[in-house]
Structure 1
Amino acid sequence: MNDTRRAVLRALSDGPAAGPDLAEQTGVSRAAVWKHVEALREAGFDVESDGDGYRLTGVPEYGGTAVEYELDAPYEVEYHDAVGSTNDRARERAAAGADDVVVLADEQTSSKGRLDREWTAPSGGVWASVVVRPDLSPAGVPLVTLAAAVATTRAFREAGVDAGIKWPNDVLARDDGRKLAGILTEMEGEADRVNWVVVGVGANVNVDAADLPETATSVRERVGDVSRRAFVQRLLETFHDLLGDSDAVLDAWREQALTLGRRVRVETPTGDVVGEAVDIESPGTLVVATDDGERRVHAGDCEHLRPAE
């Protein structure tokens, strides 16, 4: 949404606004105001006109312009009814120089998770990839992933689902450990700096249980349908707030963690690490207390074990 259309929409949200007043406020002609109003209508906004001028009476449930409306974070949202992969499209935008862009889709037709695992992404979920250019070295990028996990978890909790994080970034239901969301981070950079990072979030929001693997669940299954617009806005706002503060990311992750205090097995390239997960350190290192002392794990597949295992 361009700045003029955003200004028109902001003015309409404050109450009825006459065409000449809108033109003066935005610095465009009355004809241009009318074109912006028509574009908003085409995007699903209900804009009525009467003797007092234009009046905003309804906001669409979903879509790029709908998410940008009243979003308290500086993101441009590119929306698709269906796309192969939001991460693929976000990488294209990043390569073209984009920053603070969100690629959002109602459905993904060829999505992938970590290690090229299949990820079901039917209509009704939240499938979003964010392009950012953080002031980090490549070694610090795991903090971006942790921030996304925290932001996603908070969005689920606001939607009424008791969620938590399994190290490093799987969002699970606390009661039975079924998966609510996954996060896939990709980057391009040099030895000492990051050029861009794409953080893809796949969240099972208004999705039928029958459309998900048995190991997954959704907001719809737990509490019924919720506003995906509000879900995405809270996710993006929290993510943006956390990005610039590594200490805040780690503290917030600890608050939402399901892994800390649990006995775990982490598969790493050099073998399994088994013990109690006791802490997380920057930029996302899991500290595991094993029989042979503390081990620090930077990456790997984490499994929560039962006490007897």
Structure 2
Amino acid sequence: MDTRRALLDALADGPVSGPALAADLDVSRAAVWKAVEALREEGFAVESTPEGYVAPADPGYCAAGIEFGLDAPYAVEYHDSLTSTNDRARELAVGGVADVAVVADEQTGGRGRLDREFIAPSGGVWTSLVTRPTVPPARAPLFTLASAVATVDACREAGVEAHIKWPNDVLVGNDEDPGDDGGRPGRGGRKLAGILTEMEGEADRVSWLVVGVGVNANIDPEALPAGATSLRAEVGADVDRRRVAATLFERFASLAETAERSDRILAAWRDRASTLGRRVRVDTSSGPVVGTAVDVESPGALVIDTDDGTRRVHAGDCEHLRDADA
């Protein structure tokens, strides 16, 4: 373990002296001091007291702040601004890196599915995880479901009762209660977060997987597209972005460990989904599929009961239908 991460772990347990840390890590006191200064430069304001080094009361939204107390195997690479966290994560993945979370305060060229523009101003939680799961490419969609579950759990911990519209839209509310922005019929609620998963692989294994998540955290809805909302708007106050990111990473890591057996991920997704039991229309490459969504099956197919029998849809734009549209 490097001195920086060891120092963060030690600070989580209370004051730690420089000599004690140097002895535990078998490094010089100068190396410990250098690590402390590097944390301070990141924005993690370590205090010096007679008892030793003490973590700041407010760890801040920075790499060290997010890593502080993090129970997930990711190193954090933080940027004040990036064109796209997914683009940076792909660069790292191609370079052989794994288990890194790229985080930016803002994105200037964010994108969603089908290369749609993704608005990502300062104040959100914009992040992309670089992983190298030992699964075949056919199971990669499970990580998209896992990221949706992790995002919902992070939003709920922040005080917002989020839910999932198939496959990975994270929303709050519903069509019958669209909010002051008016929403959009079929949206299924006000959008809190978006997810974009990208991968490269061979026939029998995934080479790398990048899971991009964007959460509208401390942002005014006026700065977002119509029908979107933010954690701040729903709670009525700023949320702790550091905890939102950390919860997302910890929950995703826990679920990703079980990807070889999909039942846990599927069960968690079903428990948080608003699509199941709804009349839906899914626009697919071969035409629309209309019916009642009854289940999700591995690795992420939506099972729809239609007038012509049961259909399994693996990809498409899902619309929740109101009774008048059914």
Give the TM-score normalised by the residue count of structure 1. 0.96
Work out whether residues 129 and 210 of structure 2, in 8 Å CA contact, stay in contact via their aligned partners in 1: yes
Matches of 2:151 and 2:22, distance apart in 1: 39
Work out whether residues 59 and 68 of structure 2, in 8 Å CA contact, stay in contact via their aligned partners in 1: no
- Find the counterpart in structure 1 of residue 124 from structure 2: 125
1:275 aligns with 2:288: no
Matches of 1:293 and 1:47, distance apart in 2: 62
Which ranges in structure 2 are unaligned for 5 or more consecutive residues?
179-188
Structure 2 counterpart SS, 1:202? strand
1:226 maps to which of 239, 258, 261: 239
**How much does 1:22 deviate?**
2.0
2:280 maps to which of 251, 256, 264: 264
Q: Which amino acid aligns with 2:238?
A: D
Matches of 1:251 and 1:108, distance apart in 2: 33
Matches of 2:287 and 2:12, distance apart in 1: 58
**How much does 1:47 deviate?**
2.5
Q: Which amino acid aligns with 1:216?
A: A
Q: State how 1:55-204 maps to structure 2 within 5 Å.
A: 55-175=54-174, 176=178, 177-204=189-216
**How much does 1:15 deviate?**
3.0
**How much does 1:70 deviate?**
0.6
Work out whether residues 44 and 60 of structure 2, in 8 Å CA contact, stay in contact via their aligned partners in 1: no
Question: How many aligned positions are there?
Answer: 308
Work out whether residues 44 and 64 of structure 2, in 8 Å CA contact, stay in contact via their aligned partners in 1: no
- Deviations along 1:222-266, one digit per CA (max 9) or x if unpaired, are 112110000011001000000122211100000000100000000
Work out whether residues 145 and 199 of structure 1, in 8 Å CA contact, stay in contact via their aligned partners in 2: yes
**How much does 1:18 deviate?**
2.8
Work out whether residues 61 and 227 of structure 1, in 8 Å CA contact, stay in contact via their aligned partners in 2: no
Work out whether residues 8 and 26 of structure 1, in 8 Å CA contact, stay in contact via their aligned partners in 2: no
Matches of 2:8 and 2:265, distance apart in 1: 33
Matches of 2:49 and 2:163, distance apart in 1: 49
1:14 aligns with 2:9: no
Q: Which amino acid aligns with 2:55?
A: L
Report percent identity of matched pairs: 64
Which ranges in structure 1 are unaligned for 5 or more consecutive residues?
none
Work out whether residues 44 and 59 of structure 1, in 8 Å CA contact, stay in contact via their aligned partners in 2: no
Matches of 1:3 and 1:127, distance apart in 2: 26
- Find the counterpart in structure 2 of residue 49 from structure 1: 48
**How much does 1:300 deviate?**
0.5
1:247 maps to which of 259, 263, 267: 263
Work out whether residues 8 and 69 of structure 2, in 8 Å CA contact, stay in contact via their aligned partners in 1: no
1:305 aligns with 2:309: no
- Deviations along 1:180-223, one digit per CA (max 9) or x if unpaired, are 11100111011121101111001101111110012100001111
Give the TM-score normalised by the residue count of structure 2. 0.92
Q: Which amino acid aligns with 1:56?
A: A
Q: What is the alpha-carbon root mean square deviation over aligned residues? A: 1.3
- Find the counterpart in structure 1 of residue 182 from structure 2: none
Structure 2 counterpart SS, 1:157? helix
Compared CA separation, residues 155 and 16, structure 1 to 2 (3 A): closer
